[in-house]
Amino acid sequence: MIEFLVEFELRVPAGTSQSDVSDRERAESVAAAKLAAGGHLVRLWRRPRNGGGATAVGLYRADSEAQLAALLADLPLADWLRFTVTPLEPHPNDPHGGPRLTRVFRLEATLGEALDLGDTARGHRRIVPLTGGTFAGPELNGNLLAGASADWQIVLADGTVFGDIRYTLQTDGGALLYVQSQGVRHGSADVLARLGRGEDVDASEYTFRTATRIETAAPEFDWLNKGVFVSVGGREPGRVIYETYLVG
């Protein structure tokens, strides 16, 4: 991903009611949380201005300037904001230079009815089948194969879920990818209870992260066998979303 410095100058149209401003600011806060969960918004600061007031300065990550422009255009305050975007490049003397994340694919998978095994020797066991779906990324696109994909879960008393997620993807070119992710989904008791009931809960209200490995016999994707990956998950009614990144 490319990093960008983005400065925002807010210009509220004359005559706008305070309730309208407040509504948009709340929506903007939710949108920022979603961008952070998706790995696009890294940091956000306020920069005081001489004479009073302040602008906002954010560090963003996106695959391209076009993708960043689309993300910014979708912000609830977009038509009140003036953006100044500066692409950034790593500096060889950066003392905080660390791992970089590069998006590999976004998977949107449908879910079947969970098989609840009850309390086993390892904990409360559930198996949730992944029944279909599609994935897309800069170099990978295709479908999830039903019958070879499921999430073997251990559910704690407070609703925390430890997942052992294994699924098989087939690219548009026919290559098969075996993906195994191990991770955790946790949050407040109320949020986890709502997720457990199958309600629509915004991904910013909980944490869903996994460590991911990918195997394939396709020579053109051999780099997947050698990569270290992390995934950011989101649970929605009837489906799950995984954003998978290569750790560089």
Domain boundaries, the chain: 2-88, 101-247
197: pLDDT strictly greater than 90: no
pLDDT given at position 216: 98
Q: What is the pLDDT confidence band of residue 221, given thresholds at 50, 70 and 90?
A: very high
Name the pairing type of β-strands 229-236 and 81-88: unpaired
Give the residue from 104, 167, 178 showing the smallest Cα distance to 137. Answer: 104
CATH fold, domain 2-88, is Alpha-Beta Plaits (3.30.70)
- Count CB atoms within 10 A of the CB of residue 95: 5
The whole-angstrom separation of Cα 74 and Cα 2 is 19
For residues 28-47, average pLDDT? 91
Question: Can you give the pTM of this predicted structure?
Answer: 0.64
pLDDT given at position 141: 96
Cite the beta strand spans of the chain per DSSP E.
Answer: 2-10, 41-48, 54-62, 81-88, 101-111, 115-120, 123-136, 141-144, 150-155, 161-171, 176-187, 206-216, 229-236, 239-247
For residues 10-14, average pLDDT? 92
Tell me the percentage of the chain whose pLDDT exceeds 90. 75
Name the pairing type of β-strands 239-247 and 101-111: antiparallel
Residue 40, C-beta contacts closer than 8 angstroms, at least 6 positions apart: 60, 61, 62, 68, 71
pLDDT given at position 233: 93
Give the least confident one: 22-36, 88-102, 197-211.
88-102
pLDDT given at position 156: 93
pLDDT given at position 169: 98
Residues 46-102: tens digit of each pLDDT: 988 777 777 899 999 998 899 999 999 999 999 999 999 999 987 777 776 667 788
Structure-token pair, residue 101: 């994340």
Residues 158-185: tens digit of each pLDDT: 889 999 999 999 999 999 999 999 999 9
Give the residue from 36, 37, 21, 40 showing the smallest Cα distance to 81. Answer: 21
The whole-angstrom separation of Cα 145 and Cα 169 is 6
| CATH code that applies to domain 101-247 | 2.40.160.20
204: pLDDT strictly greater than 70: yes
